[in-house]
Amino acid sequence: MTPHYGPMQGGTEILIQGQRFSNITDPEFVKCKFTLIGTDRNPAPKFIPAIYRDEQTMMCVSPNGFLGGESVNLQMSFNGNDYTETKDFLVFNYYTVLGSFPHSGPADGFDQVILVRGSGLKSTD
């Protein structure tokens, strides 16, 4: 799955890699399920149609309604009823950006530091 992070507003195209995907994808049955994990908050899972890209790739768009710093399990169904098992590598993390400093700088500036505030931000490559 890529990417593993996206904004809390949703709208991130998540690509799921696999094998033998079919282009017979009725949105009534072929879905991604996003279930909140690791918190006391208990919103209902969100269901989003999965879109066929090719025999090895399906795509789902991350839904909104989760908060910055929250993580969700991503599962897929091809019959609208049975979903894949939860896996550690199929976890999507939401973030939110609250602000940055400085707000502007010189156009020819380089090797400068910009401080970004938010929640759900990770220090990764």
The answer to whether residue 30 sits within a structural domain is: yes
Mean pLDDT of 57-78: 95
How far is it, in rounded angstroms, from Cα 48 to Cα 93? 16
49, 27 Cβ separation under 8 angstroms: yes
121 assigned to some structural domain: no
* pTM (two decimals): 0.86
Q: Dig out the tokens for 102 from the structure.
A: 């400085």
Residue 90 within a domain: yes
Question: Whats the size of the chain, residue-wise?
Answer: 125
Tokens of 65: 């309604």
Residue 82 DSSP one-character state = -
Establish if 118 belongs to a structural domain: no
Residue 67 lies in a domain: yes
Cis bond upstream, residue 102 (ω within 30): yes
pLDDT in tens, 14-53: 999 999 888 877 888 999 999 999 999 999 999 999 999 9
Total domains in the chain come to 1
Alpha helices in the chain (DSSP H): none
Domain of residue 63, CATH code: 2.60.40.10
Task: With respect to residue 122, please indicate whether it lies within any of the assigned structural domains.
Answer: no
Range of the domain at 83: 5-97
